[in-house]
């Protein structure tokens, strides 16, 4: 069965199609993640989260890309979210010369203070949009309702906030 057909079946709630897609992608995702996350992270958990998103949102796939591109994109974002959720990591070299990521508690405090100062320098409406989105996990639409403004306004504030934050953080280095 083609991947497009599998995804259409999954969108219709076909569990067997989902199981087939899971078997088809499990090893591919495992190899993909092995190159992108520290060994201490659970690739299986990220794969499960990724494929759960595929199950829940299969009907939203608009065929603007290949199914594999869509699934690997989801896996990449799930992995990034997982890394952000955990402590800060820094690159180290293992005894056999291979790079590895290792937790550095001093770096976490420095980065948190650096980011907090950058955020303090943003205008209130930009800081609020960033806080509601990245800290509390609200969608742009939800932020628009909370702040009583248009979705386009929220998107504009987010765009400018990211640019301003980048400038502020660069200046603080």
Q: For the chain, give every domain's residue range.
A: 3-85, 105-172
- CATH architecture of the region 3-85: Orthogonal Bundle (1.10)
Q: Cβ of 112: how many Cβ atoms within 10 Å?
A: 11
Helix H or strand E segment including 151: helix 151-172
Q: What integer is the mean pLDDT of 137-164?
A: 91
Structure tokens at 87: 């402590």
3-85 and 105-172 in the same fold: no
Give residue 81's pLDDT: 82
Query: Torsion angle of alpha carbons 146, 155, 153, 65, nearest 10°?
Result: -110
What are the C-alpha distances in Å from 121 to residues 47, 77, 147, 164?
A: 38, 28, 20, 9
For residue 137, pLDDT beyond 70: yes
Give CATH for domain 105-172.
1.10.10.10
For residue 26, pLDDT beyond 50: yes
Name the pTM for this structure.
0.50
* Pairwise pLDDT comparison (76 vs 110), residue with the higher score: 76
Going by pLDDT thresholds of 50, 70 and 90, the confidence category of residue 43 is confident
Going by pLDDT thresholds of 50, 70 and 90, the confidence category of residue 58 is very high
Give residue 110's pLDDT: 72
Q: In 7-24, which positions are buried (b, 16+ CB within 10 angstroms) versus exposed (e)?
A: bbbbbeeeeebbebbbeb
For residue 88, pLDDT beyond 80: no
């Amino acid at each position: 069965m083609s991947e497009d057909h599998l995804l259409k079946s999954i969108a219709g709630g076909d569990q067997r199609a989902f199981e087939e897609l899971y078997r088809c992608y499990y090893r591919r995702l495992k190899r993909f993640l092995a190159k992108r996350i520290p060994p201490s992270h659970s690739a299986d958990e990220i794969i499960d989260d990724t494929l759960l998103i595929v199950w829940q949102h299969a009907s939203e796939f608009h065929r603007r890309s290949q199914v594999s591109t869509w699934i690997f994109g989801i896996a990449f974002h799930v992995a990034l979210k997982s890394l952000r959720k955990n402590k800060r990591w820094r690159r180290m070299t293992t005894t056999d010369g291979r790079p590895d990521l290792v937790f550095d508690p001093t770096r976490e405090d420095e980065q948190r203070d650096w980011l907090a100062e950058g955020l303090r320098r943003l205008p209130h409406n930009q800081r609020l949009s960033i806080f509601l989105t990245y800290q509390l996990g609200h969608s742009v639409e939800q932020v628009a309702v909370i702040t009583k403004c248009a979705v386009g306004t929220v998107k504009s504030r987010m765009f400018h906030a990211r640019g301003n934050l980048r400038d502020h953080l660069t200046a603080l280095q």
